[in-house]
Chains A and B, each alone.
Chain A
Amino acid sequence: MSDTIAETGSDTHDDHHPSDLQYVKIALVLAAITAVEVFSYFKSVLDWGDFLIPSLLGMMVVKFWLVARMFMHLKQDKPLLTGLFAGGLGLAVAVYIVALLAFQFWG
């Protein structure tokens, strides 16, 4: 009987969401990364040189990934949702890289 219920259940995700404390820890990590990003703006303190742009892009990706995966629960939800979002994001990035390159060469 319990097998049958499990088989026909319509759960959209498992219920192993992070605890409130884990959410706070994730937010602290996000805040720390933001602090480092802002710190990079003050070149008089430390000049990041050629590492500035790759570092900023890397930190941006980590923040993006943490919010999408943990706060939007993509980690726990069905992979289809990750596919939908990644599909939209990937399409946007691909289309606009092509557009930007087109302007670079023929603009």
Chain B
Amino acid sequence: MTTTATVAVKTHRDPHETNTGISNNKLAMWLFLGTECLLFGGLISTYLLYKTRGNGEVLPTDIFDIPFTSVSSFVLLMSSLTMVLALSAINRGELERSRAWLLTTAMLGGVFVGGQVYEFTTFVREGVGFTTNPASSAFYTLTGFHGVHVSLGILMLMSLVVASVQGKLKQSNAETVEIIGLYWHFVDIVWIFIFTVIYLIPAE
């Protein structure tokens, strides 16, 4: 009996089973995040090279508003908490609670992006535009790319919220929430890096 059962289980394999024991979607997201390290590494290095090249104009570092950016950073950091709470809730089958946390995460992301738009607007008013000097170009490219990543994350979160409202997001879809969560946490840790290296460490 035991032998028959063993054979039955071994021959009837889970179609989603992989050699690594990790689902292909999750593996692909981690691979993608590995390559994203290279993208942001390039942008951060470029900024570090150009941050003092102002051509006599105002540098971004001269007009950083650290208290304001600190609040934005705190908001994004807390959105990682709400994201992981959304995953935890859906893993337990608490669909409504998961939806509420997903919506909260998207809203916190929206606050962060709003703060970034405000910061960019202030910089332009202070005379630091995208083409003012190499330092400002590198700054806008780096933080702008990050802002685009956060915005895409918000879109993905909102699509999960809509799917949840329509009853299409069930406990069995927890891995989808986990994968989008991985992307969101990655965007957060990139900002942890940017906040320290670009904003807090003083320029020469």
Q: Is B185's CB under 8 angstroms from A71's CB? A: yes
B34 and A84 within 8 A (CB):
yes
Name B's interface SS.
helix
Interface size grouping (class) on chain B: 35 or more
Contact of A10 with B189 in the complex, beta carbons under 8 Å? no
Known: A1-B5, A68-B185. A60 touches B192 (CB 8 A): yes
Contact partner, B77, options A31, A72, A91, Cβ 8 Å? A31
Which of B2, B9, B34, B197 contacts A60 (CB under 8 A)?
A: B197
A68 and B81 CA atoms in complex are apart in Å by 12
Q: Using Cβ atoms and an 8 Å threshold, which residues of chain B touch A24?
A: 81
Q: Which residues of B contact A1 (CB under 8 A)?
A: 2, 5-6
* Chain A residues closer than 8 Å to B181, beta-carbon distance: 71-72
A11 within 8 A of B: yes
CB contacts (< 8 Å) of B10 on chain A: these are 4, 8
What CA separation (Å) do A86 and B2 show in the bound complex? Answer: 43
Verify B200–A68 contact, CB threshold 8 A: no
Given contacts A12-B23, A30-B80, 6 further A-B contacts (CB under 8 A): A19-B88, A31-B74, A57-B196, A60-B197, A78-B20, A100-B49
- Interfacial residues, chain B to chain A (CB-CB below 8 A): 2, 5-6, 9-10, 13-14, 16-18, 20-23, 26-27, 30-31, 33-38, 40-42, 44-45, 48-49, 66-67, 70, 73-74, 77-78, 80-81, 83-85, 88, 91, 178, 181-182, 185-186, 188-189, 192-193, 195-197, 200-202
Chain A contact residues, CB within 8 Å of chain B: 1, 4-5, 8, 10-12, 17, 19-20, 23-24, 26-27, 30-31, 34, 37-38, 40-41, 52-53, 56-57, 59-60, 63-64, 67-68, 71-73, 77-78, 80-81, 84-85, 87-89, 91-93, 95-96, 99-100, 103, 107
